[in-house]
Structure 1
Amino acid sequence: MIKWLKKLVKGSDFVATKKKISVIALDPRAGKSYGEDIAGLFSDVADISVFSMLDGSAAGVLERADLFVASTDAYGSPEELAKHIPLDSQTMAIEASFRWSELRKLKELPAGSKVLFVNMTETMAREAIAQLEQFGITHIHWIPFYPGASLEEDVHIAVTPDEMRYVPPKMETVIDIGQRVCTSGMMIEIALRLGLESLLEGPAFQEYARSVATSNYSFDQMFARSVRLESLFHILLESLEDGVIGINEKGEIFACSRQAEDMTCVSAALIQGKRCEEVFPYIPFAACLRARQTLPAKVIKVNSVNLSVEVVPVIRQNACIGAFALLQRFNDVEVRQNELRGQLLHKGYYAKYSFDDVIGQSAAIRRTKETLTRMANSESPILLIGETGTGKELFAHAVHRASRRAAGPFLAINVAAFPENLLESELFGYEEGAFTGAKKGGRPGLFELAHRGTLFLDEVEGMSPALQIKLLRTLQEREVMRVGGNRIIHVDVRIVAATNEALERKVREGTFRRDLYYRLNTLPAVIPPLTERGDDMFLLMEQFRRELNGDFRLTEPVQDFFRHHTWPGNIRELRNVVEYFIYTDHRDITMEDLPPTLLLSGDALSRPASAPAARQDAPAPSMSDSFRFVLAQLYAASEARTPMGRDKLLQKARESHVPLSQQEVRTILSEMAEQGLAHVSRGRGGSQLTPKGRELWEIGQR
């Protein structure tokens, strides 16, 4: 906490050395544009480097930087991004918008006109169109256009974000609105991440913010965060167990916490405004103001009590405007150090939701809540089984809140989102010097931080065999050993695991340990998908509508469509739909207002109520866009009479700008194997379509 407070009071405006910002984009021209936007505001205090996937500069592991700013299409997934940057790197996504000056040009186009929006890919074109409509460019009919798209004959106007190379010839009117620019909210986040908040007060940032189209949300967030930070200091001043004494640039006392009063036997009310050397001659405030540097902690005896006293200057715009003395009782320092480190490294480890937060009246959800409420009273591991987006983590929170460990910490980690070496250090911690980049003093793992609480392991099926062995030993022996360490640490942790795959099948395949499976599967519970929850979906929609401050209602045809939609994304997909409806700005939602993603694959994703039952032996894949892509690639490979592995599929996905992660590819291949559509081999064997799989693809092409 002392280090956190030092960062707060020192003022984040003083920058001793330049920061390093690395910008990563798919297209080099877009990357250059984003880099120039960032350099326009941060070049005086940061060096900006630009990397691109298409020109090969983003390949391999990049050099360390203080912040990596990456476009979502650069690598395709957070997991892929993690492979190209050093461990423990700070990352954030590029957020792009348009300049108001360009939007004004578009508003002058004749109402009702058909207008092409030309971009590199269909996804990029549709995303840009959605953003333009969000900013009020709705008086024209947008048509996404990209390489390979068909062109309607009666379209004569094209708009493009600096992609003239893809504009079809013979367009009567072409408006180049230039590369999209970084949002002002993104610039705020960069400044906050790097401790450069003072730049936000300068004229350059204010001018930039006025020129970029945005809502007031980012600014409200910035000012609210500033107010919270200021309020937090005053709250910390009174709530810290450490004593805090503050002086201004004249050496006059303006702050003295209750703890400092107790340690020094003075009254804060009586010393306000007095010279520091008169009241605290043993605290070297004057030396700190002169040196403008932190004076390391030293032990001073005050009233027969040994105090550790550290003095920290307050720097603002290169000027020293005061200092703070941080006081600790010496005997408490060592005891509290490890506890405070855990709080500093991992904040917010508590369960946010209870069973009351689970919305629904269906028999399936009531039965699930009753079952898990009983299981919560046990100390045995719980395995939550359910499709993606069904709310498994919410139930994990609720189980902890209903258990005897409710007063203890609750920690959650998505196992599949971490590379093996990083996951090991996250779960079990590491000692200083355990590997390159290891922090000084080491770091406790999640098992240590979850002591006497609950640890939620999401997508546990993604854990490597080596880590499965280490996890099994931890569960059996209730002890861990940090990476690079040699001492045993006893832990008391309850495990709640979750999976969206059939672990029994992975056990049979040999990719998941049988003994670990039975250890985690002590109390299994199935979380019902949205399709089994009846009209719960409308209760959930109403809750999301209130949360998002929307105002709409569903017509009967839409309600009937929803009742027969398969909802492959479950509750997560439902929330996305609600947010989409809000941005339509329509009071009554009709079938024309449905998101395009629900209608593009309507036959595959939705089924009419009167549809006859499928044959028992017919395959029933979800046929999502990702499923179709994998099926198409395997079909092409079978035509070439060669198998195709996961890595090759991911490479093809990146080349085609299809957002696919390793976990999604594994899930789709497993689904194909279960339905008899493909033979999936482990290792280098790759995957091959069966005759049934080839037939499915050929039928779909007729």
Structure 2
Amino acid sequence: MNKKRISVVSLDARAGKSYGREVKSLFGDYAEISVYNVQDGSAMGVLPRADLFVVSTDAYGSAEEVARHVPMDCQTMAVEVSFRWSELRKLKELPAGSKVLFVNMTQTMAREAITQLNQFGINHIHLIPFYPGAVLEEDVHMAVTPDEMRYVPEEIETRINLGQRPCTSGMMIEIALRLELEFLLETKPFQEYFRSIATNNYSFDQMFAKSIRLESQFHILMEILEEGVIGVNERGEIFACSHHAEEITRVSGPLIMGKRCEKVFPYLDFSKCLREKSRTKVQMKKINGVNVSVEIVPVLRQDACVGAFAILQRYHDMEVRQDELRKQLQHKGHYAKYNFDDIVGTSRAILHAKEILKRMAASESPVLLIGETGTGKELFAHALHQASRRKKEPFVAINVAAFPENLLESELFGYEEGAFTGARKGGRPGLLEAAHKGTLFLDEVEGMSPMLQVKLLRVLQERELMRVGGSRVISIDVRIVAATNESLEQKVDEGSFRRDLYYRLNTLPIMIPPLCRRDDDLFLLIDHFKDELGGQFALTEPIRDFLKNYSWPGNIRELRNVVEYFIYTGHRQITMEDLPPTVWNHRQPKLRPVMAPLSPVSPCPPAGHEQEEPGPYGSPGGRPRTDTFWFVLGELYAASEEGSFVGREKLLSKARESHIPTSQQEIRAILTEMSEQGLARVSRGRGGSRLTLEGRGLWESRRDGWK
């Protein structure tokens, strides 16, 4: 910054030097100070140009005379003087009613000083103006003077020298404002000077102090904001540049102060903002090789644009900040509570499901959990997240079927302020944003409306979303884990579920086995819930047999309810009479229909029928039949009843509708086995297969055995 030039002009040389010293003490680092006075002739003639002339009122006789000595177009202001508080305290100590001479160079100067002292509260003594040529009163024995001891009469006994009168704080503020050095007003030398100089401008002092506080708060705010801030005045001149803005733009704040914004920041369109009095749209600009979000906001006062601010934020910083905020949501319930060790069971079915899910956890693809109500699909979703690379990130769960469509949309995607009646001020991020970098679990996903299916598909495909009522695209990174207890394939065929979304969600499908297929896990789970609920009871043999053969349509959830019911019976030995009414009404084991297209898993036969003993139509060597074998046999039987054939593709489709885990290779192998055993006639290609009499007999034998 180039130094300013300040010229101080006075009548008296000693006064001029005093004024010059004070001005230099406050502005010397930023301005060159020159002192001129009339007495020695240095103030005569046309003076050298300066940025500001500070002229004492007694230096020249009139404004016309000032114009003869000060160059045209140069700023001019008057010297204003006051007293120091320390000197006023001395006068306060003088005896009340005392007659005191006030000695100065001229009568005018003496009277002006006495008037000012009266305004400062020096009214307890009688001040008499005295100057060269004045007549001394006989009964006056005391005098005070502003460093004009040479004019004090010799006969005066008590003399008090107040020293040269200092410049007022208002004069120093005026200099700072005229030279655009107002930042100096907050420095320690200025603050100390202001405190030492007497003033009776209470209102001005209050306003100035308030202004200083506001400016200090502004600078503090500038530095604590995460964004970079650059401010310009109505002329487009830079007056503010925060530390973050300096880092982003790689400029030095002090070096650009007062410069035109377009010369320093040609990529910031301040002129358009000032001209149109409206904020510019947020834009992404490349600044020093870094993507930076830029927005310019006007400052309006009574419809006049008095300046503008540019808000800068590095795109990377925005993402980091959003990640930090999203992570804080983990402390508000968005975290996984269970892992695979919390899944109780040692059955082959449950161990197989856990093993597959652990391998799926290493993937980033969507997972579809298929299982009946109450099988613990959400528990598996928690465990899947805990075993994944996202385990330290949020886990957010929502039951899709529990929300109406319009509310579900705002819950999932969030909304902007004013998006709808009752929308929270400032808007709100949705659960998809809350799950950023983590996992979102969508339970009962089949209940999602077609419109929301389209929006969810975009999230899966593009990894971005738009809030309700918003126009800003938000990038997110979320792994979707969905769950269903219905046949999504059938819903696709019916047209209520989008085929493209189905294939997105069905990337990694997994069957969660029902309780009836988990062997002796039943009693492990009973002991687990009994310990969890703090119960004490034992099962009698009849009740154990009943529970083992019961079909458990409500699965694990129903079992827990039954255990809690047993606890509240108050009986230590649980008998058949202690069964809950809902179970007692189904006390005879019930079969689930074999041909159940909406059943999410393969049907559970009565206990003891999972593996058939070899009978007249048994497999060679007594090898047990699989669930898939009996499913295929049942489908072929149903087709033979209708007099039709069934191909491999249709059998595979039927299996998927019933959520039976199988493959085309397994079905081909089963049909080959049936053909070799004379149970079915299998045609090559797409001709289809049909049961023989032996095959029909085997199915009818199994069916009769269940009855």
TM-score by length of 1: 0.40
Determine which structure has greater relative contact order: mean sequence separation of CA pairs < 8 Å that are 6+ residues apart, divided by chain length.
Answer: 1
